[in-house]
Amino acid sequence: MALVPPHGGKGLVCCLLTGSELEDEKKRAAGLKKIPISAQAKGDLIMMGIGGFSPLDGFMTKADWKGVCENMLLSDGTFWPIPVMLTASKADSDGINVGDDIALEREGEIYATMNVTEKFEMTEEDKKWEAEKVYKGEGEDSQGDFLKTALEDHPGVQMLMARKEICLAGPVKVLSEGEYPTKYKGIYLKPAQTREIFEKRGWSKIAALQLRNPMHRSHEYLCKIAVETCDGVLIHSLIGNLKPGDIPADVRVKCIDTLVNNYFVKDYVVQAGYPLDMRYAGPREALLHATFRQNYGVNRMIIGRDHAGVGDFYGLFEAQEIFNKIPYATYEEACKVPGKALLCQPLKIDWTFYCFKCDGMASMRTCPHTKQDRVILSGTKLRKMLSEGAEIPDHFGRPEVLAILRKYYEGLTEKVEIKMQKAASGEDMK
């Protein structure tokens, strides 16, 4: 069997220039009007450059933005779950007209040029509408006055509301991959590279594990379930920006290396990283994770408890349930709309934990015991215990990994308070 095709029906859409074309565009970019971009936009650009955001070849128009927020569809009917926008202040965008070419710059480096095909204003009401459509969930924190709570505690909504007021849309030519090829050499892999690895190994059914936290026993168990049911697993870490208090990518990568070397059969695992920032959009972000994983050659996205969640904004398994609510929800329906539907399907796994009575890892579907018999595993809970110097319960993590994390926390001069949500504490477990 062949690998799943890239999303969108156009193959890998890669906007990254190379060779003489790159050098010529860099010279041209030096003379263009420069627009400063956010860290999030930088990651989005690099993903467009390497084909990770296929079929996107630029930032979204107003019609695309509205369709994605409302129906999870681009204006041409292609599935896409989260807006990918470029915003600028009125001052920075003054004098930019449709048809102009601009340079997109961050911290002194030009990451891309863009041909402006549309310029429109994003009002406060527009942002609030997007927040309600994309970020609001079914958890406790999303009830009542959602926006008031979100502005205080939801990092994704806070980033959304802080966006500049003018949107610029249009195709891009990407000139730089930033620090990723050197800082994360061997980990930062492009979709074409993972696809080549999978093809060489003869894999066609591949599951991906999304990671933004250090890999604990539950993550390990999820991967091993996937290895038993698929040809192999892609352990795919976010190596872009996180919120304060999260553990940096180089530490997480070291933890994964240690786990893979000691507790996995390497022939069935590929470790890689991707250059996005977290959006903390819960269920919608789970869909985004599946969408761009399809471009990497993955056709099964592992979705466990509270995937991409933050606080108590989302239901425990809302990220699993949303896959049943998207356009072309079933694989059979997806096959009827070639290119436009999401082909990467969820691998839904129940709440997992270590059970002393079962004497091993288990889930709510396999363990008949009570929560008093279980070690509740979560990245948030692990970070909180480590940051407070608390003793880590037996079977929470592998000792080799915990040693790496303890060393990291011992070296911190400033620590961020970690807020525990119900999902991480096990409060909702029966």
Catalytically active residues are 212-213
CB 305 within 8 A of CB 270: no
Residues forming beta bridges with residue 65, ordered by sequence position: none
Report the alpha-carbon angle 9-280-36, nearest 5: 80
Tokens of 409: 């926390």
Write the burial class of residue 254 (CB in 10 Å: 0-12 exposed, 13-18 middle, 19+ buried): middle
Q: Contact, 48 vs 56, CB < 8 A?
A: yes
Q: What is the dihedral of CA 96, 102, 106, 110, to 10 degrees?
A: -160
Helix 399-410 vs helix 249-263: crossing angle, to nearest 10: 160
| Tokens matching residue 421 | 């949500």
Continuous H helices in 264-329? 283-295, 318-321
CA–CA distance, 328 with 412 (Å, rounded to integer): 47
Q: How many helices (H) and strands (E) does the chain have?
A: 17, 15
